[in-house]
């Protein structure tokens, strides 16, 4: 425990042992980690934390999710990713080849979109979807120049806190005073921890509900809504945007995609697919969720909220990059 920052040790000693966190932890449900045991340094499975944050939502005394991030980093022996040193992202960015497969688009300067590592590295076509979605809403958007990782991933927990703060503040500065909007709500949440305001795209879209209603729309299409854990706090905005397209939301429950925790993820994805049965497609707010839902063999097609706005405007261009496809 001595290698942990003092504030993490303080958070651990603030635990009162009520175990509320255990009841909501999706990893614990399937034999993974235990947030309570982690707080008393007795969890053998800290590396199985998904980072969903459900524990911190119910905890009244401390911040177990933040503690888990540091314990997991300790257990896995992480260091600042090589990709960050070379490219500024936690994973290597994808090539720009995807642009050749899409119609040319013009970037505006009203709003800057911050993609985040998952979009930049795994599903860069979402940058097109976000910029086009803004165009359909009459907002000129462009990609944030000199953008980097927000430093949320577990691999950054050995980095000096002051350095992490500086990176986040610089990201805001790169927007040159324009609105900075994230594609990944994890980025919004992480930037906020250093006082940097960058609303998630679902919050930003919710300012344009009348314009969304004016699009050709998706009336009568049955869809499921899975915002993803990091977008859960923006659920109201997220739902309002989806409803404005005219689509009918059919799922009554929602939850964690499970990411890539062996032995746990499969069970959680089974839960998600079951609760979304009957939907033509699933709408997510988290790019990482998009990656995991799109991998499910025989699963329900998935799209990000930015693609939903495009689809409501009759634009299904980014579908060509999906493994599980829907048509406009």
Question: Is there binding between residue 68 and ligand SF4 (CB under 6 A)?
Answer: yes
Report the residue number, 21 or 224, with the smaller CB distance to ligand SF4. Answer: 21
Q: Which of 8, 15, 126, 187 binds ligand SF4 (CB under 6 A)?
A: 15
Question: Using CA atoms in the order 294, 266, 153, 2, what is the torsion angle rounded to 10 degrees?
Answer: 180
| Least spacing, CB of residue 235 vs ligand SF4, in Å | 17
**Length reported for the chain:** 328
What phi and psi values does residue 148 have, to the nearest 5 degrees?
A: -140, -175
Question: Is there binding between residue 33 and ligand SF4 (CB under 6 A)?
Answer: yes
Distance CA 267, CA 55 (A): 19
Question: Is there binding between residue 111 and ligand SF4 (CB under 6 A)?
Answer: no
Query: Helix 235-244 and helix 305-312: axis angle, to 10°?
Result: 20
Question: Is there binding between residue 52 and ligand SF4 (CB under 6 A)?
Answer: yes
Question: Is there binding between residue 35 and ligand SF4 (CB under 6 A)?
Answer: yes
Question: Is there binding between residue 40 and ligand SF4 (CB under 6 A)?
Answer: no
Stretch that binds ligand SF4, among 22-30, 126-134, 187-195, 239-247 (CB under 6 A): 22-30
Q: Which of 5, 10, 19, 31 binds ligand SF4 (CB under 6 A)?
A: 19
The stretches of 151-286 forming alpha helices (DSSP H) are 161-174, 185-192, 201-205, 209-213, 235-244, 265-275
Q: Which of 53, 115, 258, 287 binds ligand SF4 (CB under 6 A)?
A: 53
Q: Which of 4, 8, 45, 64 binds ligand SF4 (CB under 6 A)?
A: 64
Q: Which of 49, 180, 291, 300 binds ligand SF4 (CB under 6 A)?
A: 49
Q: List the end-to-end C-alpha distance of the chain, in Å, as a whole number.
A: 53
Question: Is there binding between residue 55 and ligand SF4 (CB under 6 A)?
Answer: yes
Distance CA 87, CA 97 (A): 17
Question: Is there binding between residue 18 and ligand SF4 (CB under 6 A)?
Answer: yes
Catalog residues that contact ligand SF4 under the rule CB under 6 A.
15-21, 25-28, 33, 35-36, 39, 49-55, 58-59, 61-62, 64-65, 68
């Amino acid at each position: 425990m001595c290698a942990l920052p003092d504030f993490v040790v303080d958070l651990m000693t603030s635990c009162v042992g009520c175990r509320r966190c255990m009841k909501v932890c999706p990893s614990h449900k399937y034999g993974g980690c235990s947030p309570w045991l982690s707080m008393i340094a007795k969890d053998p499975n800290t590396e199985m934390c998904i980072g969903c944050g459900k524990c911190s939502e119910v905890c009244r005394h401390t911040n177990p999710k933040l503690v888990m991030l540091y314990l997991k980093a300790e257990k896995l022996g992480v260091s600042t990713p090589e990709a960050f040193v070379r490219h500024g992202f936690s994973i290597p960015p994808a090539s720009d080849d995807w642009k050749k497969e899409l119609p040319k688009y013009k970037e505006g300067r009203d709003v800057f979109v911050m993609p985040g590592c998952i979009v930049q590295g795994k599903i860069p076509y979402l940058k097109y979807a976000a910029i086009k979605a803004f165009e359909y809403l009459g907002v000129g958007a462009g990609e944030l120049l000199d953008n980097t990782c927000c430093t949320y991933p577990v691999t950054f927990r050995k980095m000096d806190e002051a350095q992490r703060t500086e990176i986040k503040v610089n990201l805001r500065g790169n927007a040159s005073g324009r609105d900075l909007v994230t594609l990944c709500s994890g980025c919004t949440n992480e930037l906020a921890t250093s006082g940097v305001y960058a609303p998630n795209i679902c919050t930003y879209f919710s300012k344009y509900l009348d314009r969304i209603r004016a699009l050709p729309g998706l009336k009568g299409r049955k869809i499921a809504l899975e915002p993803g854990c990091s977008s859960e706090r923006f659920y109201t905005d997220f739902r309002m945007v989806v409803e404005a397209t005219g689509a009918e939301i059919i799922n009554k429950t929602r939850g964690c995609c499970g990411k890539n925790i062996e032995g746990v993820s499969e069970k959680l994805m089974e839960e998600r697919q079951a609760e979304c049965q009957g939907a033509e497609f699933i709408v997510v707010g988290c790019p990482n969720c998009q990656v995991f839902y799109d991998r499910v063999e025989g699963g329900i097609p998935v799209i990000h909220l930015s693609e939903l706005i495009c689809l409501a405007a009759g634009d299904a261009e980014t579908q060509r990059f999906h493994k599980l496809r829907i048509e406009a």
